[in-house]
Structure 1
Amino acid sequence: MSVTIRQATMLSCLLAVCGASSEANASAFALREQSAEGMGNAFAGSAANASDPSTAFFNPAGLARMDSNQAEAQATWIQPQAKFTGTNSSAIPGAPNLTGTLPENAIKPAAIGSVYDVWNAAPDWKLAFAVNTPFGMRSEYKADWVGRYQALATDVTDIDFSVVGSYRINQNLSIGGGPRFSYLKGRLTQALNFKTIGLGAASQLASGATQYGQAAAAAAAAGQASTAAALGAQASAYATQAQGLQTLANSWGDGLGKIEGDDVAAGYTLGALYEFNKETRVGLNYRSRVAHSLAATASFQTPATLALAGPTLSGPFTAQAATLKATLPDSLNVGLHHDLNAQWAVMSSVEWTHWSLIQTLNGIGANGLLLTSLPLKFRDTAMASLGTSYQANDKLALRAGIAYDESPVTDTTRTARLPDSSRYWLSFGGSYTVMPGTDLQLGYTHIIADKALITETTNALLATGTLNGSYDNAIDMVSLGVKVRF
């Protein structure tokens, strides 16, 4: 019977993980929600608690404290809010601001999940298999929103498969680690302002016509009749092309650009756990960076008459292979856990994330053309959390925690794709033993985020105006889990 329960638990959560859409709720696009139990403490002490199979993710050295075979599955519902207020200027100097709607909530709700299976291989050896979504985000604006030329859809999903183990060196010290295999999928879309693109090209042609006309006049004044005639003919040709392109461009509406791709890459995790005594322990865990090079495809929706403008203008907007390079950052987590008595425990954590690895995200076409560019310019961050647990009786445990989560995004580099800001966590939760060997877990978090100011100018292919304004962000999360011991 226990094997059936275990298989059902693993299968249901694998389906949840692989089918989930991800929404970033830790800093940038990281996802910390890998444990319903841990959420109740705002993930305080996550590298040291070692109280359930999710320690395979937070610190595999903690598996040494597992005294039985265990399986755990959890799912988290994320309900974000990101309300924008502001304007978008035109890319044409002196032109009025761009028109469009203001989104009530661009960041979409989503569900994520994780699954763990721990094997008690020997008294000092433990092995575990884990599937997680440690990174992800999904934002999607309406096609007519005021910042459509900066961003429409942004979809990033990272699914990690890990095989980790732990070894107890002595009664105080345990170590752990193992490989991680990361599947990363990304999709970026944005509206293309073909009218402005065309008028910009027409303006360049008109400027060329003026320059050739001036050169022709100078040649004529110098008595160089043949040179003046040639330059005059070129000026006339440019002027005709400029007028024709201007007429075409004024009939064009918005188009769409999309780049999407995926990649598989590998990394690793290493951890250590030191138990000073039965009451106090400290944990250290390092998760490596993972460098991805996404094999992608760029596609475009263009005006029907774009080809009439000639290959110089229409050429870049043809479907083509592309490459997206992205590095998922490494992190270092230090946690402390202390049992005050048989009922009360306190814990704390500090986690550093190497976000400064991400400076610019570029989408490069097959011909080397820059298709899209996000100057993110992230900075390194830290998250600090404090938590407490109360064992009410032999079945019920209650938890609470607070945290401050620093954002790698600054006011000068914030983008509509990722309107992130530093935030504060308020968490509580609990677990209940419904039958011997089976616990149900619940965690809830409310996140209050700082106001996110934005001044974004996009220069991919052609400047598309400057988005000025602010986002008011908040997030609510509910996590449910089940842990089974065998």
Structure 2
Amino acid sequence: MPRALQPSRALLSLLLVGSATGTLMGSGFQLREQSPSAQGNAFAGISAGGTDIGSMFFNVATLTRFEGNQAVLGFSSIQPSARLESGQASRATLLGATPVSGSAGGDAGRSAILPVAYALWSASPDLKLGLSVNSPFGLGSEYEANWIGRYHAVKSQIKVVEIAPNVAWRLDSHWSVGAALVARYVDAELTNAVDFGAVGAALHVPGSVPGAQDGTAKVTGHQWKYGYKLGVLFEPTQQVRLGAAYHSRLDFALQGEVRYEGVPTALKAAFPDGGSSPRANQPATASLGIAWEAAPGLTLQAEAAQTFWNCFQDIRIEFASGQSTSVTEEKWKNTWFKALGTTWKPNATWTFRAGLAKDQAATSDSYRTPRIPDADRTWISGGLGYAFNRALGLDLSYSHILVKDSTLNLKAGSPGTPDFFRGNVSGTYRNRIQVLALQARYSF
């Protein structure tokens, strides 16, 4: 990253501390909670512009709807729960098919705070410059150390910070276009238990017993990558707006290391600490939004967004020591987010919002993993805004997200397959999510 664009180490640390790592927030590990005001509409119509400059994250071109200068600071408090019920686990048939003892894992969901920050400077009535700081993706799940699926996952944490300068230009009274340069930083930590007893037994190491010599593996990594956003806004009348946007895909090969604990002496040469490169892709997205002022003060909104998760087929970790590449198959598919919402502004002081959305899961029952137990979601959202005066306002939103019960059914397979030493694990996930969001907006 060019030195002029690098945030200070202290600033980056602060942003990462605040980055969300919540489980099951959106399609895959996408975090849709990027505008506390628009959350009240379940993000319906946000690609056509919301009530403040937070819409720039979704569609840069919407900045031309705002005059003067504006700043928005906000956060979302995300409270997820993910519990595995009726869980069972066993080793591969060639390793004796013995049961894996342990707990059900407890609640793997981890509460998180997701901050957002936006700024707008009107260079002219038709040229708008913006800056956004977000966390568009994130993952956080952690099970009890002795749970039955520990060979697949214990802790999964991915923190993402995105910094994007934005520019939007009004071409005429109907059309606006916009673009943003995206600088995205990823910091990841993945841990799991390792059944060194099973590995030793497969290698015919004397005294090796599956389940009797557990150790741990911890992989960390980080990387900067660059992408872009494009947007267009069409306003055929003063009452109707249509917006479309595209966010580019980013592929990450993180630079990091692997550390093992509890490795038996006979296996130390096969499991050395050293450099590693976790590889995972973050998808492109495309969205279309519409907003219609059906009556004075009453706006109806709709949104359709596709996330191109077919780029995410596995979590792949390569090792500098020459160890075999670690692969966790995901086999994700593209997903749709669809939302309907309404905004009612009875006067200059109050704004009321409501919305309903459907969010598809990216995974399937055959490939769902404990690291990312994705499932279909239904958003039920409401919110309100209060303007103290023309310059200062507050917005509060709440979403209750109903998550469909989902099946975990991973098979150990034969030697050479990714889950051979991890074993079989099955059960049913019961999930729920609540999100409370607050922001302050100031115009000057």
Normalised to the residue count of structure 2, the TM-score between the two structures is 0.92
Tell me by how many angstroms 1:254 deviates: 1.2
1:75-120 deviations in Å (ceiling 9; x for gaps): 0111011110110112355443111111331021111111000001
Contact 2:196 2:210 in 1 (8 A): no
Q: 1:368 to 1:248 in 2, by over 3 A?
A: closer
1:32-47 matches, cutoff 5 A: 32-47=32-47
Report whether the alignment pairs 1:255 with 2:255.
no
What is the percent sequence identity of the aligned residues? 30
As a proportion of its length, which structure holds more helix?
1
> In the alignment, is residue 282 of structure 1 matched against residue 220 of structure 2?
no
Aligned 1:205-354 pairs, distance under 5 A: 245-247=205-207, 249=209, 252-303=212-263, 306-307=264-265, 309=266, 313-354=267-308
Where structure 2 has 5 or more consecutive residues not aligned to the other structure, the ranges are 1-9
1:433 CA displacement: 0.8
- Preserved contact between residue 383 and residue 405 of structure 1 (Cα < 8 Å): yes
**Paired residue type of 2:437:** S
Give, as a single letter, the amino acid of the residue that structure 2 aligns with 1:22: T
1:476 correspondence with 2:439? no
Q: How far off is 1:464 after superposition?
A: 2.2
Structure 1 residues 423 and 116, CA gap change in structure 2 (3 angstroms): same
3-state DSSP of counterpart to 2:53: coil
Instruction: State the alpha-carbon separation in 1 of the partners of residues 423 and 281 from structure 2.
Output: 29
Name the structure 2 match of 1:96: 98
Q: How far is 1:252 from its partner? A: 4.5
Deviations 1:252-303 (A, max 9, x none): 5310001110000100000000001111010001000112210110110024
Deviations 1:6-52 (A, max 9, x none): xxxxx999956653342140111000101111100000001002431
Give the distance between the partners of 1:327 and 1:438, measured in 2 at CA.
39
The separation in 1 between residues aligned to 2:40 and 2:110, in whole angstroms, is 23
Letter in 2 for 1:350: A
- Cα pair 1:139 1:153 within 8 Å, conserved: yes
Q: Is the 8 A contact 1:362 1:370 kept in 2?
A: no
Alpha-carbon distance in 1 for matches of 2:155, 2:327: 15
Q: Map 1:70-81 to 2 at 5 A.
A: 70-81=70-81
Letter in 1 for 2:439: G
Please say which of residues 274-283 and 13-22 is displaced more in the overlay: 13-22
- Which one has the largest radius of gyration? 1
Q: Which residue of 1 aligns with 2:408?
A: 454
Cα deviation code 1:132-161 (max 9, x no counterpart): 000001001111111101100000111100
Which residue is 2:4 aligned to?
A: none
Q: 1:14·1:131 contact (CA, 8 Å) conserved in 2?
A: no
Q: Distance in 1 between matches of 2:64 and 2:183?
A: 23
Distance 1:186 1:58 in 2: 25
Q: Superposition pairs for residues 75-154 of structure 1, below 5 Å?
A: 75-85=75-85, 86-93=87-94, 94-154=96-156
Q: Distance in 2 between matches of 1:37 and 1:13?
A: 26
Cα deviation, residue 249, structure 1: 4.5
Could you list the runs of 5+ residues in structure 1 that have no partner in the other structure? 1-10, 203-244
**Residue of structure 1 in register with 2:388 after alignment:** 434
Corresponding residue of 1:365: 319
Q: How does 1:169-184 map to 2 (within 5 A)?
A: 169-184=171-186
* CA distance in structure 2 between the partners assigned to 1:344 and 1:250 by the alignment: 65
**Aligned position for 1:196:** 198
Distance 2:133 2:328 in 1: 29
Contact 2:91 2:421 in 1 (8 A): no
Is 1:467–2:421 an aligned residue pair?
no
Change in CA separation of 1:342 and 1:254 when aligned onto 2, cut-off 3 Å: same
Partner of 1:23: 22
CA distance in 2, matches of 1:200, 1:65: 65
Amino acid at match of 2:91: S
Partner residue in 1 for 2:5:
none
SS of the aligned residue for 2:137 comes to strand
The CA RMSD over aligned residues, in Å, is 2.0
Q: How many residues align?
A: 428
| Cα shift readout 1:390-423 (whole Å, capped 9, x = no counterpart) | 1132211010000000011101110010111111
Contact 1:61–1:166 at 8 Å: present in 2 too? yes
| Worse overlay, 387-396 or 62-71 | 387-396
Letter in 1 for 2:355: G
